Amino acid sequence: MKKVLFSAFIGAGNIGDEAIAEVLVDKFKKESSIQISILSKNIQRTEKILSDPKIKILKQSILSFFNEVRRCDIFVLSGGGLLQDGSSALNIPFYFLQVFLARAVFKKKVILLCIGVGPIKTFLGSFFLRSMAPLTEYSLVRDKESEQLLIEHKFNPKSIDVAYDIVFNFQNSPDKNWKTYKQPYVLFCPRDWFFSKSFLPVKLSLKFSRAYQGSSLIKYRENLLKLVSNVLELDKKTTIIGIPFFLSQDIDLLFWIKDRLNKDQVERFLIIDREISAGEYISIAKKSKCIIGIRLHSLILGALTLKPMVPIVYSDKVSNFIKYMKLGSSSTYLENPNFDVDHVIKCYKRAIAPAQDIKYSSFLKQIQKTNEKSLDTAIKKHFL
C-alpha cells in the first residue's frame, strides 16, 4: 500500500482551501491501495470537514512532519495558491524546505498537485522556486499561467500538466440540513484591501497592512460600503448575506460595513459570523439571486449553482477564472482602492436581468471533465 502525505493550507478556516482538500480526499480514498495522511493547522476543524476515520490527520508541526514524511512513500504539496510571494516572501522558502527535506533528506517522491503558482515578485521567491524544480517529479497546476511560471523557473515542461482549479469538481452532500434564509437575497463575499509587506510572515503582514495603509484601506472599504448600500437601495425587498470566506480575515470588514449602513438598510444586511463549509455555502448560494464575489472560491463554488455572478478582480487567479468562464462583461477590476462602484452596479443589474442566460454552464462541464481526466491520469501514473 502506498502511503501519501499531503501538506497544504488546510485547517486554517479558509473555505476554498478546505474545499480543495475535500475534493482530493474524496478522489484518493477511492483507491484502496493508497493510504492518506494530512498535515492540518487544526485537527478538529479538518476532521469535521473530511469526516472519515480512515484519513490520518495530524497537527501541522515540525515533529509531525518529520515523523510522517519518513514513513510515507509520496509527499504531496497541494493547492490552492501556495507557491506565491504576494502575501509574504517567506511562503515559498517555507514550502521549499518541506520539499527539500522530503526529497533530498528522506528520498521520497515529491508531487505538486492541483496547485497555483504566482505571483512571484521577489528574488527570494524566485530563487527558492527554481531550487524546487530538480526536487519535484511531477506537477499538476490549475492554470496556464502557473505552468509558465514553473517553466520559467526551470521545471521540466514534460513533467507539468495543466487542469483547472479542482474546486470545480466539488461534490456537495445533498442530505445536509443547512440553515435557510429568507429570499430574495444576494451573496456578498469580500476580502480586505491588502498591501503586502512581503518581507514579513503573512499574519504580521496582514496586521501591518491594516494598521498602516490608512487612507487607501478606508477608501476601499467606503467603496464596498457604497456598493452594498446601492444594491440594497435598488430593491427594498432584497437582503444581502455577507459571507466571510476566510473568517479570521474577512469578518471585521463585513461588520465595518454593517456598522455604517443606513438604519433602514442595516436589517437587510446579514452576516454569517461563523465558519461554514463549502457544502453549506453552495446550499445558500443555490437560493440566491446573485453572487458578488471577490474571493476566488466564492466564485468557483458559486458557479456550481449556475447563479448570476459579479466577479470583482483583485488578483491574476480571479482574472484567469473570468477568462475561461467568459465572464468579462460582468466583472470589474480592483486596480486600486478607487474602483468604479458604478460599473459594478451596472454589472449587477445586467446579471439579474430577467432575460439573462447563464452562459457558462457548458464551459463548466468541460472544465469538470478536464479536471476529472487530469486527476485520474495523475493518480494512475504517479501514485499507483
Residue 333 pairs with which residues in a beta bridge? Answer: 313
Say whether pLDDT at 368 is over 80.
yes
- Going from N- to C-terminal start, the domains of the chain cover 2-162, 185-359
pTM of the shown model: 0.93
pLDDT score, position 198: 58
Taking CA atoms, 304 is separated from 101, 118, 172, 299, in Å, by 38, 25, 10, 9
Mean pLDDT of 64-89: 92
Say whether pLDDT at 195 is over 60.
no
Window from 57-66, 115-124, 230-239, 317-326 with minimum mean pLDDT: 317-326
- Please tell me the distance from the alpha carbon of residue 164 to that of residue 161, in angstroms, as a whole number: 10
- Check for a shared fold between 2-162 and 185-359: yes
Say whether pLDDT at 175 is over 60.
no
pLDDT score, position 275: 93
Sheet holding 56-59, edge to edge: 56-59, 34-40, 2-7, 74-78, 109-115, 138-141, 160-162
CATH entry 3.40.50.2000 includes domain 185-359: yes
Q: What percent of the chain has pLDDT over 70?
A: 92
Strands 269-271 and 290-293: unpaired
| The length of the chain, given as a count of residues | 384
Cell of 248: 479570521
CATH entry 3.40.50.2000 includes domain 2-162: yes
Say whether pLDDT at 261 is over 80.
yes
Say whether pLDDT at 115 is over 90.
yes
- Please tell me the distance from the alpha carbon of residue 204 to that of residue 225, in angstroms, as a whole number: 26
Window from 156-170, 313-327, 329-343 with minimum mean pLDDT: 329-343
Taking CA atoms, 74 is separated from 4, 162, 271, 373, 382, in Å, by 5, 20, 41, 21, 9
3-state secondary structure the chain: CEEEEEECCCCCCEHHHHHHHHHHHHHHCCCCCEEEEEEECCHHHHHHHHCCCCCEEEECCHHHHHHHHCCCCEEEEECCCCECCCCCCCHHHHHHHHHHHHHHHCCCEEEEEEECECCCCCHHHHHHHHHHHHHCCEEEECCHHHHHHHHHCCCCHHHEEECCCHHHHCCCCCCCCCCCCCCCEEEEECCCCCCCCCCCCHHHHHHHHHHHCCHHHHHHHHHHHHHHHHHHHHCCCCEEEECCCEHHHHHHHHHHHHCCCCHHHHCCEEECCCCCCHHHHHHHHCCCCEEEECCHHHHHHHHCCCCCEEEEECCHHHHHHHHHHCCHHHCEECCCCCCCHHHHHHHHHHHHCCCCCCCCHHHHHHHHHHHHHHHHHHHHHHCC
- Please tell me the distance from the alpha carbon of residue 106 to that of residue 70, in angstroms, as a whole number: 6
Q: Average pLDDT over the chain, rounded to whole?
A: 91
pLDDT tens for 15-29 read 999 999 999 999 999
